[in-house]
């Protein structure tokens, strides 16, 4: 007998539910999602449309519980944590407004907020004292993650307002863009797999069993609502109360009264979202007034008075022409996708990193495949999937190399690492990158000594390792005759090299390219061991006492020093006559203890350069403006931080004023 439409729908529904369950597991439990949020939402939307056509299937084939089994205590929320209805379509968004107005007579106001791409957390307070933190779980019962959440310094342990016997603060735990980048840089240095996105890292971190590990994940929090026992009559006053209690909140309160204005905001927000310090995937639109909210009520899953308008990630399909291999500074081999050039978010993309070989295997990516590139605000486009329907019989699996593509040395892989590494200590590519790193702004800050100049001096055979930089003066006479150089430039470079002899010790330690040592761990090491000798003679146990230095890094410091080639370089550096300072400890710098906020894009320097210049003078860069902020530096297209600064009467500098201030230091 032929299947009826309902039979077909049931089969399709079952397949969808199996897929959704799998993706839930990958996302929530394994922290290794295979599909984007958008694709996941599409699966959910398909399920919803089947339920609409055949409501009887909803009970017969309903989805299983989301609740995870693990070692966290299961604790009921004081009031349920609902989800938000979401849409990707302008039409549906306008429909939401129209339906809402059918039920609400009179004026309305919407509060508009970023939809932060993080993890929902419920904070329980008893008599104004922090009591417990719970994940959303199934909305009724969450998992208790109190200790992990306590690592977030911004969450107040005591509320100013102690009038509530019980109150729940709801918000999002996330990892800021700068912290995410820093964490991935450290992972790379350790030869560990980098994390694919900040949201998964945040949610994975909240559920780690080791609090010390959680601390390293630098979690942040923003409060966006109140659960049980709120008396507020609107969203705006609720937000003000949260700010008064000391919770981080969104910097501006955007309120509109028409759907058109809301839509304009959404479009504007889409443009400025990449400038925010965290990832967002849309805008949350909430009806302001609580009585009006109560009139509308909620479905079992979500309130009828709010909606999330989500941005579709931009994607493009193109052919993977080849996979090439890059050697990194510490020898890690990274596979790179060479693509048939394609337009994505206004730029032409011809290459994308494939991260590592496990990722290629997991996504079953073959040379000759059509791959889907996606970019959702992130700077680097990623290959999210293969279009298997277009796979030809000629598509070939990627062959994992056995030797270094640059020097031909064998590659190695240890059990702890996913990365393949070139084993040669003389690999010219590693040496070149190590020199570039040593001279870089973040390390020894040798002005002008960028990759192009390093190419020249290594090609000339003048520099084989970092210590050789300090004998470059020997080649001055030939150097000034090379095309593009001349006396002025060469003397400037030689002068900059000379100045680098008086840098802080941490810069030197960071500049050595020791596996596992990033900027922060180098600073900590230099604080703990004020001389290089003290560092080299420290025991494994002593090294591991240093914050951010684990067993692997401690070992790699000792291996670095045990290596004969490295010892030779260190001896040569010793001859140079450094006077490495402990500058970072200096409390007397011009901006010591002062906090700065950057907003908008600067023309003459990148954000990280600006941050570095501020830190060089003892200042700190923070993400949010408070009355204690020393100055807000405003570039083009500033965000809401400017408004907040104006509101708080905080000093505002444009780029030129910032430069003047730097020069004055
Ligand atoms: S309000 C009734 N506001 O999005 C639900 N949620 O998809 C009230 N989220 O579980 C939620 N940014 O974790 C709200 N500005 C924001 C948000 C936000 C992110 C998350 C939240 C929620 C999920 C719903």
Domain residue ranges in the chain: 5-57, 74-310, 315-397, 428-569, 586-664
Distance in angstroms (rounded) separating the CA atoms of residues 181 and 168: 32
Q: Whose CA is nearest to atom 13 of ligand 1?
A: 120
Distance in angstroms (rounded) separating the CA atoms of residues 238 and 224: 9
Distance in angstroms (rounded) separating the CA atoms of residues 454 and 446: 11
Residues 6+ apart with CB under 8 A from 448: 489, 492, 493, 496
CB 400 near ligand 1, within 6 Å? no
Provide the pLDDT for residue 64.
35
Q: Whose CA is nearest to atom 16 of ligand 1?
A: 115
> Across residues 41-69, what is the average pLDDT?
65
> Across residues 43-68, what is the average pLDDT?
65
Question: Hey, what are 15's tokens?
Answer: 């397949």
Q: Ligand 1 centroid vs 302 CA: distance in angstroms?
A: 10
Distance in angstroms (rounded) separating the CA atoms of residues 125 and 136: 16
CB 227 near ligand 1, within 6 Å? no
With contact defined as beta carbons under 8 Å apart, do 521 and 544 qualify?
no
* Atom nearest to 117 CA in ligand 1: 19
Q: Ligand 1 centroid vs 384 CA: distance in angstroms?
A: 25
What is the per-residue pLDDT across 365-421, written as a single tens digit (0 to 9) for each?
Answer: 999 999 999 875 445 688 988 999 899 999 999 999 999 999 999 998 866 667 788
Decide if pLDDT at 79 tops 90.
yes
Decide if pLDDT at 620 tops 60.
yes
Distance in angstroms (rounded) separating the CA atoms of residues 106 and 605: 50
With contact defined as beta carbons under 8 Å apart, do 468 and 569 qualify?
no
Decide if pLDDT at 590 tops 90.
no
Provide the pLDDT for residue 210.
85
Mutation choice for ligand 1 from 80, 81, 83, 84, CB with most ligand atoms inside 8 A: 84
594 a catalytic residue? no
Mean predicted lDDT score pLDDT of the chain: 88
Q: What topology does CATH give the domain 315-397?
A: OB fold (Dihydrolipoamide Acetyltransferase, E2P) (2.40.50)
Distance in angstroms (rounded) separating the CA atoms of residues 247 and 255: 20
CB 173 near ligand 1, within 6 Å? no
* Atom nearest to 306 CA in ligand 1: 2
What is the per-residue pLDDT across 10-33, written as a single tens digit (0 to 9) for each?
Answer: 877 887 887 788 777 777 666 566
Query: 5-57: which CATH architecture?
Result: Orthogonal Bundle (1.10)
What is the per-residue pLDDT across 222-256, written as a single tens digit (0 to 9) for each?
Answer: 999 999 887 877 999 999 999 999 999 999 899 99
Q: Which CATH class is domain 74-310?
A: alpha beta
Q: Whose CA is nearest to atom 2 of ligand 1?
A: 82
With contact defined as beta carbons under 8 Å apart, do 550 and 544 qualify?
yes
Mutation choice for ligand 1 from 119, 172, 238, 290, CB with most ligand atoms inside 8 A: 172
Q: Ligand 1 centroid vs 83 CA: distance in angstroms?
A: 7
Question: In CATH terms, is domain 428-569 a member of 1.10.150.20?
Answer: yes
Provide the pLDDT for residue 500.
92
CB 132 near ligand 1, within 6 Å? no
Q: Which CATH number fits domain 586-664: 2.170.130.10, 3.40.50.10190, 3.40.50.80, 2.60.120.10?
A: 3.40.50.10190
With contact defined as beta carbons under 8 Å apart, do 116 and 71 qualify?
no
With contact defined as beta carbons under 8 Å apart, do 349 and 381 qualify?
yes
Provide the pLDDT for residue 61.
52
96 — pLDDT class (breaks 50, 70, 90)? very high
Dihedral over alpha carbons 271, 275, 279, 284 (to 10 degrees): -50
CB 168 near ligand 1, within 6 Å? no
Catalytic residue of the set 99, 115, 150, 501? 115
CB 115 near ligand 1, within 6 Å? yes
């Amino acid at each position: 007998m032929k299947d009826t439409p309902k039979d077909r729908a049931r089969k399709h529904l079952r397949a969808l539910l199996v897929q959704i369950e799998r993706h839930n597991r990958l996302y929530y439990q394994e922290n290794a999602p295979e599909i984007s949020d958008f694709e996941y939402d599409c699966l959910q939307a398909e399920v919803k449309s089947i339920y609409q056509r055949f409501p009887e299937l909803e009970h017969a084939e309903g989805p299983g519980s989301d609740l995870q089994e693990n070692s966290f205590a299961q604790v009921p929320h004081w009031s349920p944590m609902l989800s938000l209805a979401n849409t990707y379509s302008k039409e549906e968004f306008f429909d939401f407004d129209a339906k809402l107005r059918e039920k609400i007579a009179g004026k309305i106001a919407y509060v508009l907020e970023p939809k932060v791409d993080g993890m929902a957390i419920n904070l329980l307070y008893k008599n104004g004292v922090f009591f417990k933190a719970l994940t959303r779980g199934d909305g009724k019962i969450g998992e208790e993650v109190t200790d992990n959440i306590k690592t977030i310094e911004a969450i107040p342990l005591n509320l100013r307002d102690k009038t509530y016997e019980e109150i729940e603060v709801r918000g999002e735990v996330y990892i800021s863009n700068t912290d995410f980048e820093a964490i991935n840089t450290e992972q790379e240095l350790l030869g560990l797999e980098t994390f694919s996105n900040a949201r998964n890292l945040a949610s994975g971190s909240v559920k780690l069993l080791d609090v010390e590990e959680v601390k390293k994940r630098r979690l942040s929090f923003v409060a966006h609502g109140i659960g049980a026992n709120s008396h507020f009559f609107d969203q705006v006053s609720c937000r003000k109360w949260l700010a008064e209690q000391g919770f981080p909140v969104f910097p501006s309160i955007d309120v509109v009264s028409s759907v058109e204005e809301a839509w304009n905001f959404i479009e504007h927000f889409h443009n400025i979202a990449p400038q925010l310090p965290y990832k967002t995937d849309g805008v949350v639109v909430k009806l302001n007034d609580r009585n009006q909210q109560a009139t509308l009520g909620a479905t079992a899953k979500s309130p009828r008075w709010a909606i999330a308008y989500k941005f579709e990630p931009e994607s493009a399909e193109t052919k993977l022409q080849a996979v090439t291999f890059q050697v990194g500074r510490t020898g890690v081999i990274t596979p790179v996708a060479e693509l048939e050039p394609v337009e994505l978010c206004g730029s032409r993309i011809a290459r994308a990193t494939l991260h590592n070989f496990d990722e290629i295997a997991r996504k079953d990516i073959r040379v000759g495949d059509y791959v889907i590139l996606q970019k959702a605000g992130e700077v680097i486009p990623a290959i999210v999937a293969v279009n298997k329907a277009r796979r030809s019989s000629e598509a070939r699996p990627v062959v994992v190399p056995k030797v270094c593509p640059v020097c031909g040395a064998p590659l190695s892989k240890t059990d702890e690492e996913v990365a393949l590494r070139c084993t040669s200590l003389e690999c010219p590519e590693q040496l070149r990158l190590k020199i570039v790193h040593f001279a870089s702004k973040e390390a020894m800050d040798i002005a002008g000594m960028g990759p192009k100049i390093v190419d020249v001096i290594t090609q000339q055979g003048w520099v084989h390792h970092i210590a050789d930089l300090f004998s470059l003066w020997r080649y001055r006479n030939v150097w000034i005759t090379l095309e593009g150089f001349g006396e002025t430039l060469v003397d400037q470079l030689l002068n900059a090299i000379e100045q680098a002899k008086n840098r802080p010790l941490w810069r030197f330690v960071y500049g050595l390219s020791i596996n596992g040592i990033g900027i922060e761990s180098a600073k900590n090491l230099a604080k703990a061991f004020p001389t290089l000798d003290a560092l080299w003679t420290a025991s494994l146990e002593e090294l591991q006492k240093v914050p951010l230095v684990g067993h692997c890094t401690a070992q790699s410091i000792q291996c670095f020093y045990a290596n004969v080639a490295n010892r030779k370089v260190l001896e040569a550096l010793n001859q140079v006559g450094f006077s490495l300072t402990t500058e970072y400890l200096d409390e007397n710098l011009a901006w010591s203890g002062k906090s700065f906020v950057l907003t908008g894009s600067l023309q003459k320097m990148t954000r990280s350069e600006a941050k570095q210049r501020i830190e060089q003078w003892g200042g700190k860069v923070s993400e949010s403006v408070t009355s204690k902020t020393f100055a807000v530096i405003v570039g083009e297209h500033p965000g809401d931080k400017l408004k907040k600064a104006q509101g708080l009467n905080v000093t505002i500098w444009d780029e030129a004023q910032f430069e003047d201030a730097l020069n004055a230091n």
